[in-house]
Amino acid sequence: MTIVAFGGGGFVSTPDSPLNRYVISLARRSERPRVCYVPTAGGDSLPHVATFYRTCSSLGCEGTDLPLFNRTGEDVREKLLAQEVIWVGGGNTANLLAVWRLHGVDAALREAWEAGVVLAGSSAGMICWFEASITDSFGPQLAPLSDGLGFLPGSACPHYDDEERRRPVYREAVATGLPGGYAADDHAALRFDGVELAECVADTEGASAWRVALEDGQVVERALPTRVLV
């Protein structure tokens, strides 16, 4: 039961990142693991899908994608359970959650996770797994979102070092009632085994993951030990 949550980057935006190889190394099937891209948050962007397939080819994976805006008649549950890795791209998290729930993707993803399929993603694909998050789904001002999938407890915030408003908005939200959780810089990722944090990794020196929580009425932010991949 593994989830790898990227603050930014991954199969589409950073195809050559060692973080992609890290995710693939966690797959149950070591030879040509099956990887499914779920591009819902980006509106099933065809350029993103094309980049994903190129990345899979370079990694020696068997790639496929699950379109939800132009359904092909595939059985969602059957397709997702047949994978070793499921990659969720960035975009609009609120829209992603609504579409997934309408098509039963949320239930199929939980079943796949419990069956040992690695779930991973960046940005929207980072925060969707948590109970709550900070999102730009409603505009660039950023806002809390409190109805995530809840596979992982607490909240999450991506792009922590890349977008200047992420840190203050997340800290303010935690101070005013959002459950504490995790933040990740671009180029950094958190790996959870079950619901416990196993390790933090990065593909760039200086990229980090963070624990953010309310302690004695004050928001406390701690950098987590982060292993740089080579």
DSSP assignment of 47-104 equals HHHHHHHHHHHHHT-EEEE--SSS--S--HHHHHHT-SEEEE--S-HHHHHHHHHHHT
Extract the residue ranges of the chain whose pLDDT is less than 50.
none
Q: What is the pLDDT of residues 20-30, one digit of tens each?
A: 999 999 998 77
CA distance 45 to 50: 9
Dihedral (CA of 164, 170, 175, 177) sign: positive
Q: What is the pLDDT of residue 18?
A: 95
Residue type, 230: V
pTM of the model: 0.94
Q: What is the pLDDT of residue 71?
A: 86
Q: What are the structural domains of the chain?
A: 2-228 (3.40.50.880)
Q: What is the pLDDT of residues 88-126, one digit of tens each?
A: 999 999 999 999 999 999 999 999 999 999 999 999 999
Q: What is the pLDDT of residue 163?
A: 85
Active site residues: 123, 159
Beta strands in 54-93, from DSSP E residues, in sequence order: 62-65, 85-88
Quote the longest CA-to-CA distance of the chain. Answer: 52
CA distance 181 to 77: 29
Q: What is the pLDDT of residue 215?
A: 93
